[in-house]
Structure 1
Protein backbone atom coordinates (compact mmCIF):
# COMPACT_ATOMS: atom_id res chain seq x y z
CA UNK A 1 0.00 0.00 0.00
CA UNK A 2 1.49 3.29 -1.10
CA UNK A 3 2.64 5.72 1.53
CA UNK A 4 1.20 8.72 -0.32
CA UNK A 5 -2.21 7.69 0.99
CA UNK A 6 -3.29 9.10 4.34
CA UNK A 7 -2.12 6.74 7.11
CA UNK A 8 -5.50 7.23 8.82
CA UNK A 9 -7.15 5.43 5.90
CA UNK A 10 -4.88 2.42 6.45
CA UNK A 11 -5.77 2.48 10.13
CA UNK A 12 -9.48 2.53 9.21
CA UNK A 13 -8.96 -0.37 6.81
CA UNK A 14 -7.22 -2.49 9.44
CA UNK A 15 -9.83 -1.68 12.09
CA UNK A 16 -12.70 -2.51 9.72
CA UNK A 17 -10.94 -5.72 8.66
CA UNK A 18 -10.65 -6.83 12.26
CA UNK A 19 -14.21 -5.79 13.15
CA UNK A 20 -15.86 -7.53 10.18
CA UNK A 21 -13.38 -10.39 9.70
CA UNK A 22 -12.53 -9.41 6.13
CA UNK A 23 -8.96 -9.29 4.87
CA UNK A 24 -7.44 -5.79 4.96
CA UNK A 25 -5.87 -6.49 1.56
CA UNK A 26 -9.32 -7.07 0.05
CA UNK A 27 -10.76 -3.89 1.56
CA UNK A 28 -7.73 -1.91 0.35
CA UNK A 29 -8.05 -3.40 -3.14
CA UNK A 30 -11.73 -2.43 -3.36
CA UNK A 31 -10.98 1.10 -2.15
CA UNK A 32 -8.11 1.42 -4.63
CA UNK A 33 -10.32 0.28 -7.53
CA UNK A 34 -13.39 2.23 -6.45
CA UNK A 35 -12.00 5.62 -5.39
CA UNK A 36 -8.21 5.55 -5.62
CA UNK A 37 -8.25 6.29 -1.86
CA UNK A 38 -10.17 9.56 -2.36
CA UNK A 39 -12.71 9.96 0.48
CA UNK A 40 -14.55 12.64 -1.52
CA UNK A 41 -14.98 10.52 -4.66
CA UNK A 42 -18.44 10.46 -6.23
CA UNK A 43 -19.42 8.45 -9.30
CA UNK A 44 -21.75 9.49 -12.07
CA UNK A 45 -24.38 7.11 -10.66
CA UNK A 46 -24.18 8.56 -7.15
CA UNK A 47 -21.89 6.09 -5.37
CA UNK A 48 -19.91 7.96 -2.72
CA UNK A 49 -16.79 7.90 -0.63
CA UNK A 50 -13.81 5.59 -0.36
CA UNK A 51 -15.80 2.43 -1.04
CA UNK A 52 -18.25 4.05 -3.51
CA UNK A 53 -21.42 3.03 -1.70
CA UNK A 54 -24.74 3.83 -3.37
CA UNK A 55 -27.84 5.13 -1.57
CA UNK A 56 -29.76 1.81 -1.34
CA UNK A 57 -26.69 0.04 0.07
CA UNK A 58 -26.09 2.95 2.44
CA UNK A 59 -29.62 2.53 3.82
CA UNK A 60 -29.27 -1.26 4.00
CA UNK A 61 -26.05 -0.92 6.00
CA UNK A 62 -27.37 1.85 8.26
CA UNK A 63 -24.65 4.31 7.30
CA UNK A 64 -25.66 7.73 8.62
CA UNK A 65 -22.93 9.91 7.07
CA UNK A 66 -21.65 8.39 3.83
CA UNK A 67 -18.93 11.07 3.66
CA UNK A 68 -17.46 10.05 7.01
CA UNK A 69 -14.49 7.95 5.90
CA UNK A 70 -14.62 5.66 8.94
CA UNK A 71 -18.34 4.97 8.46
CA UNK A 72 -17.84 4.45 4.73
CA UNK A 73 -15.00 1.94 5.20
CA UNK A 74 -16.83 0.11 8.00
CA UNK A 75 -20.00 -0.05 5.92
CA UNK A 76 -18.14 -1.26 2.85
CA UNK A 77 -16.31 -3.92 4.87
CA UNK A 78 -19.60 -5.06 6.41
CA UNK A 79 -21.13 -5.29 2.93
CA UNK A 80 -18.14 -7.27 1.63
CA UNK A 81 -18.56 -9.67 4.56
CA UNK A 82 -22.26 -10.12 3.70
CA UNK A 83 -21.40 -10.79 0.06
CA UNK A 84 -18.63 -13.23 0.96
CA UNK A 85 -21.05 -15.09 3.20
CA UNK A 86 -23.75 -15.10 0.49
CA UNK A 87 -21.33 -16.52 -2.07
CA UNK A 88 -19.63 -19.12 0.15
CA UNK A 89 -16.41 -17.14 0.57
CA UNK A 90 -15.79 -16.95 -3.18
CA UNK A 91 -14.01 -13.62 -3.51
CA UNK A 92 -14.57 -13.26 -7.27
CA UNK A 93 -18.33 -13.65 -6.85
CA UNK A 94 -18.43 -11.25 -3.89
CA UNK A 95 -16.57 -8.66 -5.96
CA UNK A 96 -18.89 -9.19 -8.93
CA UNK A 97 -21.84 -8.66 -6.58
CA UNK A 98 -20.22 -5.53 -5.13
CA UNK A 99 -19.99 -4.15 -8.67
CA UNK A 100 -23.10 -5.48 -10.45
CA UNK A 101 -25.35 -6.43 -7.55
CA UNK A 102 -25.94 -9.82 -5.93
CA UNK A 103 -29.06 -10.40 -8.04
CA UNK A 104 -27.01 -10.38 -11.24
CA UNK A 105 -24.48 -12.84 -9.82
CA UNK A 106 -27.31 -15.18 -8.86
CA UNK A 107 -29.05 -14.71 -12.21
CA UNK A 108 -25.93 -15.64 -14.19
CA UNK A 109 -24.75 -18.21 -11.62
CA UNK A 110 -21.32 -16.57 -11.60
CA UNK A 111 -19.62 -13.38 -12.69
CA UNK A 112 -22.12 -11.65 -15.01
CA UNK A 113 -21.14 -11.30 -18.68
CA UNK A 114 -20.78 -7.54 -18.35
CA UNK A 115 -17.44 -6.19 -19.60
CA UNK A 116 -17.32 -3.64 -16.77
CA UNK A 117 -17.92 -6.24 -14.07
CA UNK A 118 -15.49 -8.75 -15.54
CA UNK A 119 -12.82 -6.04 -15.78
CA UNK A 120 -13.60 -4.89 -12.24
CA UNK A 121 -13.18 -8.39 -10.81
CA UNK A 122 -9.85 -8.87 -12.65
CA UNK A 123 -8.58 -5.47 -11.50
CA UNK A 124 -9.56 -5.91 -7.84
CA UNK A 125 -8.17 -9.46 -7.71
CA UNK A 126 -4.85 -8.22 -9.10
CA UNK A 127 -4.77 -5.41 -6.53
CA UNK A 128 -5.79 -7.84 -3.77
CA UNK A 129 -2.90 -10.20 -4.56
CA UNK A 130 -0.54 -7.22 -4.75
CA UNK A 131 -1.64 -5.93 -1.32
CA UNK A 132 -1.43 -9.43 0.18
CA UNK A 133 2.22 -9.85 -0.81
Structure 2
Protein backbone atom coordinates (compact mmCIF):
# COMPACT_ATOMS: atom_id res chain seq x y z
CA UNK A 1 0.00 0.00 0.00
CA UNK A 2 2.98 2.27 0.45
CA UNK A 3 3.20 2.87 -3.28
CA UNK A 4 -0.17 4.64 -2.95
CA UNK A 5 0.79 6.71 0.12
CA UNK A 6 0.38 10.10 -1.60
CA UNK A 7 -3.11 9.23 -2.85
CA UNK A 8 -4.04 7.73 0.52
CA UNK A 9 -2.85 10.78 2.43
CA UNK A 10 -4.59 13.21 0.07
CA UNK A 11 -7.91 11.37 0.44
CA UNK A 12 -7.42 10.95 4.20
CA UNK A 13 -6.92 14.68 4.57
CA UNK A 14 -9.86 15.56 2.30
CA UNK A 15 -12.29 13.28 4.16
CA UNK A 16 -10.76 13.59 7.66
CA UNK A 17 -9.96 9.88 8.01
CA UNK A 18 -6.90 8.06 9.29
CA UNK A 19 -4.63 7.06 6.39
CA UNK A 20 -4.04 3.75 8.21
CA UNK A 21 -7.75 2.97 7.88
CA UNK A 22 -7.67 3.61 4.15
CA UNK A 23 -4.52 1.52 3.67
CA UNK A 24 -6.08 -1.30 5.71
CA UNK A 25 -9.24 -1.30 3.59
CA UNK A 26 -7.16 -1.33 0.41
CA UNK A 27 -5.11 -4.29 1.63
CA UNK A 28 -8.20 -6.22 2.69
CA UNK A 29 -10.18 -5.37 -0.46
CA UNK A 30 -7.64 -5.80 -3.24
CA UNK A 31 -4.24 -6.56 -1.75
CA UNK A 32 -3.10 -3.32 -3.37
CA UNK A 33 -3.90 -4.45 -6.94
CA UNK A 34 -5.41 -1.52 -8.89
CA UNK A 35 -6.68 -3.96 -11.54
CA UNK A 36 -8.50 -6.21 -9.09
CA UNK A 37 -12.05 -7.25 -9.99
CA UNK A 38 -14.14 -9.20 -7.49
CA UNK A 39 -16.50 -12.03 -8.43
CA UNK A 40 -19.43 -9.62 -7.95
CA UNK A 41 -17.85 -6.90 -10.11
CA UNK A 42 -16.24 -4.58 -7.54
CA UNK A 43 -13.30 -2.74 -9.08
CA UNK A 44 -9.85 -1.52 -8.23
CA UNK A 45 -7.94 -0.83 -5.06
CA UNK A 46 -10.93 -0.16 -2.82
CA UNK A 47 -13.24 -2.50 -4.72
CA UNK A 48 -15.90 0.00 -5.70
CA UNK A 49 -19.05 -1.33 -7.26
CA UNK A 50 -19.69 0.40 -10.60
CA UNK A 51 -22.89 1.96 -9.24
CA UNK A 52 -21.03 3.35 -6.22
CA UNK A 53 -18.28 4.76 -8.42
CA UNK A 54 -20.93 6.40 -10.59
CA UNK A 55 -22.70 7.82 -7.53
CA UNK A 56 -19.40 9.29 -6.31
CA UNK A 57 -18.46 10.46 -9.80
CA UNK A 58 -15.10 8.66 -9.87
CA UNK A 59 -13.41 6.41 -12.38
CA UNK A 60 -12.90 3.11 -10.52
CA UNK A 61 -10.08 2.17 -12.91
CA UNK A 62 -8.01 5.24 -11.95
CA UNK A 63 -6.15 4.42 -8.71
CA UNK A 64 -6.26 7.97 -7.31
CA UNK A 65 -9.96 8.33 -8.07
CA UNK A 66 -10.67 4.85 -6.73
CA UNK A 67 -8.95 5.73 -3.44
CA UNK A 68 -10.80 9.04 -3.24
CA UNK A 69 -14.14 7.38 -3.99
CA UNK A 70 -13.57 4.55 -1.54
CA UNK A 71 -12.46 6.97 1.16
CA UNK A 72 -15.51 9.17 0.58
CA UNK A 73 -17.81 6.14 0.69
CA UNK A 74 -16.14 4.90 3.89
CA UNK A 75 -16.60 8.34 5.45
CA UNK A 76 -20.29 8.24 4.48
CA UNK A 77 -20.69 4.88 6.23
CA UNK A 78 -18.92 6.15 9.36
CA UNK A 79 -21.25 9.15 9.49
CA UNK A 80 -24.32 6.98 8.89
CA UNK A 81 -23.58 4.22 11.38
CA UNK A 82 -21.37 6.01 13.92
CA UNK A 83 -18.94 3.20 14.65
CA UNK A 84 -16.13 1.47 12.82
CA UNK A 85 -17.54 -2.07 12.93
CA UNK A 86 -20.85 -1.16 11.32
CA UNK A 87 -19.18 1.23 8.88
CA UNK A 88 -16.86 -1.55 7.75
CA UNK A 89 -19.77 -3.97 7.52
CA UNK A 90 -21.67 -1.46 5.38
CA UNK A 91 -18.62 -0.94 3.18
CA UNK A 92 -18.25 -4.68 2.69
CA UNK A 93 -21.83 -5.99 2.61
CA UNK A 94 -23.82 -2.86 1.85
CA UNK A 95 -25.65 -0.45 4.13
CA UNK A 96 -28.90 -2.42 3.83
CA UNK A 97 -27.31 -5.41 5.52
CA UNK A 98 -26.31 -3.20 8.44
CA UNK A 99 -29.70 -1.50 8.64
CA UNK A 100 -31.52 -4.85 8.79
CA UNK A 101 -28.81 -6.39 11.02
CA UNK A 102 -28.08 -9.33 8.70
CA UNK A 103 -24.39 -8.49 8.24
CA UNK A 104 -23.43 -10.48 11.32
CA UNK A 105 -24.65 -13.63 9.55
CA UNK A 106 -22.34 -13.14 6.56
CA UNK A 107 -19.02 -14.96 7.20
CA UNK A 108 -17.05 -12.81 4.74
CA UNK A 109 -18.27 -9.63 6.43
CA UNK A 110 -17.55 -10.95 9.93
CA UNK A 111 -14.02 -11.76 8.80
CA UNK A 112 -13.69 -8.32 7.20
CA UNK A 113 -14.82 -6.49 10.34
CA UNK A 114 -12.30 -8.49 12.39
CA UNK A 115 -9.33 -8.21 10.02
CA UNK A 116 -9.44 -4.54 9.04
CA UNK A 117 -8.73 -3.25 12.60
CA UNK A 118 -5.69 -5.54 12.78
CA UNK A 119 -4.48 -4.06 9.50
CA UNK A 120 -5.17 -0.53 10.80
CA UNK A 121 -2.75 -1.22 13.67
CA UNK A 122 -0.17 -2.43 11.16
CA UNK A 123 -0.49 0.70 9.03
CA UNK A 124 -0.54 3.06 12.04
CA UNK A 125 2.89 1.70 12.94
CA UNK A 126 4.09 2.14 9.36
CA UNK A 127 2.74 5.70 9.07
CA UNK A 128 4.19 6.69 12.46
CA UNK A 129 7.56 5.22 11.52
CA UNK A 130 7.53 7.06 8.18
CA UNK A 131 6.34 10.54 9.07
CA UNK A 132 8.11 11.78 5.96
CA UNK A 133 5.02 10.72 3.97
CA UNK A 134 3.11 13.82 5.07
CA UNK A 135 5.96 16.16 4.17
CA UNK A 136 6.35 14.62 0.71
CA UNK A 137 2.76 15.11 -0.45
**Is the TM value for this pair above 0.5?**
yes
How far apart in 2 are the matches of 1:130 and 1:92?
17
Q: Does 1:73 align with 2:67?
A: yes
Q: Once the 2 structures are TM-superposed, how far is the Cα of residue 10 of structure 1 from its aligned partner?
A: 0.8
Q: Which has the higher contact order (CA 8 A, sep 6+)?
A: 2
Tell me what 1:82 maps to. 76
How far apart in 2 are the matches of 1:66 and 1:55?
7
Q: Where does structure 1 lack aligned partners over 5 or more consecutive residues?
A: none
Q: Provide TM-score, normalisation by structure 2.
A: 0.86
In the TM superposition, 1:1-133 aligns within 5 A as: 5-6=2-3, 9-63=4-58, 65-88=59-82, 90-108=83-101, 111-133=103-125
Which stretches of structure 1, 4 residues or more, deviate above 4 A after TM superposition?
Answer: none
Query: Secondary structure of 1:108's match?
Result: coil
Query: Secondary structure of 2:41's match?
Result: coil
How far apart in 2 are the matches of 1:74 and 1:106?
25
User: Aligned residue pairs: how many?
Assistant: 125
Q: CA RMSD in A?
A: 1.4
Q: Provide TM-score, normalisation by structure 1.
A: 0.89
Spell out, residue by residue over 1:29-75, the C-alpha distance to the aligned partner (whole angstroms, 9 max, x if none).
00000011111111111111100001121121111x21110100000
Q: Where does structure 2 lack aligned partners over 5 or more consecutive residues?
A: 126-137
